[in-house]
Amino acid sequence: MNINNLRPAVGAGCKVHIETYGCQMNFADSEVVLAILQKEGYIYTEDIAQAEVILVNTCSIRDNAEQRIWGRLNEFRRYKRARKGLIVGIIGCMAERLKERLLDEEMVNVVAGPDAFRDLPHLIRMAREGQKGINTKLSREETYAEISPVRLDKNGVTAFVSIMRGCNNMCAYCVVPYTRGAERSRDWQTIVHEVEELFAAGYREVTLLGQNVNSYKCGEVGFPELMAKVAEVSPLLRVRFSTSHPKDMSDELLQVIAAYPNICRAIHLPAQSGSSRMLALMNRKYTREWYLGRIEAIRKYIPDCAITTDLIAGFCTETEEDHQMTLSLMREVGYASAFMFHYSERPNTYSARHLADDVSPEEKIRRLNEIIALQNELSLESNRRDVGGEFEILLEGTSKRSDDKMFGRTSQNKVVIIDRRYHRVGDYVRVRVTDCSSATLMGQEIE
Ligand code: 5AD
Ligand code: SF4
């Protein structure tokens, strides 16, 4: 008899709740964490009030992300008082960055960095025995390659697939290389296998995730080859990816995207700034001209591609002239949408150590507001160009505003609202766009 069969799984029947903050990568990580815990007998509960273990998957990218999470942790004190034995774990980027401070918080029982998730069953067991469970070791190898994530986002149609971890780019402002460690790629075979399983389970769209997917490398397989392999799983499966660094956006990748109709016509290409002086200070390794050259290449190979971006307002020493360069870049590219932030100094990054955070908070916010106002105009213009056009959308769910409407996305990643009629989530529907706002398109099915 195998004695292990007599040992109950570590977490047998124990209810765990996971709360996730931050980027898509964090959401994908929470699904890996759940897979690890389920294997040990833990049961997921959506209801935090039922949970015996609460894990908070955290984000450190900007100060306000961390502040929000600290606020939330304060609320957990109440749960702790009400429920004896409740275990609270901080996992992910904040765990990595703030291990010492979190160690001192009597309220926190478990601290696990992004490469320590496999250790969570052990760390939770330590906490249950009254000790703190801590592991913030970063790894050069860990990719959680063979773990099949347990999907927490339950639309059953779209899923994230993590293809690499960490980042080597060392942008001056960014904390990610410190919290997530060095870049490493997951074996392509396990990626394709996961995608095949998702398709067989009814999923119709995957987003390949990494901090810089263009530098994916697994033996002879680079990102363009990986994209082709994933696109070949089925022509009925849409493929997206996020996020790309402009310095590595190769023609070869653009040719692969153009060659497969099921690879979506949407590229997120974070510019961060339109001023070459700022880009050099940010250590982005490209100039405004290089960036615009990449935009031109996208337009040449994939004329119907939507381009989106990330922008930072008020980085160290940014002048009004630099700021105007960002606004002019935005006009020149005509982004479909953008994520826009004001610079937030992160401890220990290159810019925190060596550059002056000398744009006043008021000025940062003024510049950011100008950027946001311009982007609203550009998004509206981009959407207006789609009115009258024909698109295929993949339905993802019921519209927030009305049960009689559903929403789906175009290949360009724009949301379209249509009448529900006989449609179901996961259907592809051909629509004509009839109207728009800056955020959404309205459509009508083409019969
Ligand atoms: N301050 C403001 N924005 C930042 N980002 C990353 N680090 C910072 C920071 N310190 C933004 C960048 C990046 C996105 C994920 O977050 O635009 O592309
Ligand atoms: Fe941060 Fe730059 Fe890496 Fe993106 S590419 S995670 S901005 S260091």
Domain around 441: 390-445
- CA angle, corner 134, sides to 132 and 136, nearest 5? 165
**Counting every residue, how long is the chain?**
447
Looking up residue 233, the CATH number of its domain turns out to be 3.80.30.20
Count CB atoms within 10 A of the CB of residue 370.
16
Distance CA(103)–CA(107), nearest Å, equals 9
Strands 441-445 and 415-419: parallel
Q: What is the pLDDT of residues 272-306, one digit of tens each?
A: 999 999 999 999 999 999 999 999 999 999 999 99
pLDDT at residue 79 in the model? 86
150: in domain: no
CA nearest neighbour of 382 among 265, 270, 275? 265
Is the pLDDT score of 3 beyond 60?
A: no
Residues contacting 328, CB < 8 A, separation 6+: 274
C-alpha 362/C-alpha 290 separation (Å) is: 31
Say what angle helices 251-259 and 223-231 make with each other, to 10 degrees. Answer: 10
97 and 70 inside one domain: yes
**25 inside domain:** yes
Residue 339 lies in a domain: yes
Q: What is the pTM of this model?
A: 0.95
pLDDT in tens, 211-258: 999 999 999 999 999 999 999 999 999 999 999 999 999 999 999 999
Q: What percent of the chain has pLDDT over 70?
A: 98
**Ligand with minimal distance to 246 CA:** 2
Does residue 146 lie within any of the structural domains?
no
* One-character DSSP codes across 60-102: -SSHHHHHHHHHHHHHHHHHHHHSTT-EEEEEEHHHHHTHHHH
Q: Where do the DSSP E strands lie in 194-257?
A: 205-209, 217-218, 221-222, 238-242
* 443 sits in which H/E element: strand 441-445
Q: What is the pLDDT of residue 236?
A: 98
CATH of residue 25: 3.40.50.12160
Q: Give 78's pLDDT tier (boundaries 50, 70, 90).
A: confident
pLDDT tens-digit series, residues 303-339: 999 999 999 999 999 999 999 999 999 999 999 999 9
As a whole number, mean pLDDT of residues 198-214 equals 97
User: Model confidence over 387-411: pLDDT tens digits?
Assistant: 999 999 999 999 999 999 999 999 9
Same domain, 39 and 173: no
Average pLDDT over residues 77-105: 92
Residue 130: inside a domain, yes or no? yes
Q: Are 204 and 236 in contact (CB under 8 A)?
A: yes
The answer, yes or no, to whether any atom of ligand 2 lies below 6 A from the CB of 211, is: yes
Q: Is 351 in the pocket of ligand 2 (CB under 6 A)?
A: no
399 and 381 in one domain? no
Mean pLDDT of 78-82: 87
Residue-wise pLDDT tens digits, 150-191:
999 889 999 999 999 999 999 999 999 999 999 999 999 999
Contact 162, 144 (CB under 8 A): yes
- pLDDT band (50, 70, 90) for residue 106: confident
Q: Considering only CA atoms, which residue is closest to atom 5 of ligand 2?
A: 169
pLDDT of residue 153: 81
Centre of ligand 1 to C-alpha 320, Å, is 20
Asked if 264 and 409 sit in the same domain, the reply is no
Ligand 2 centre to CA of 170 (Å) is: 6
Q: How many domains does the chain have?
A: 3
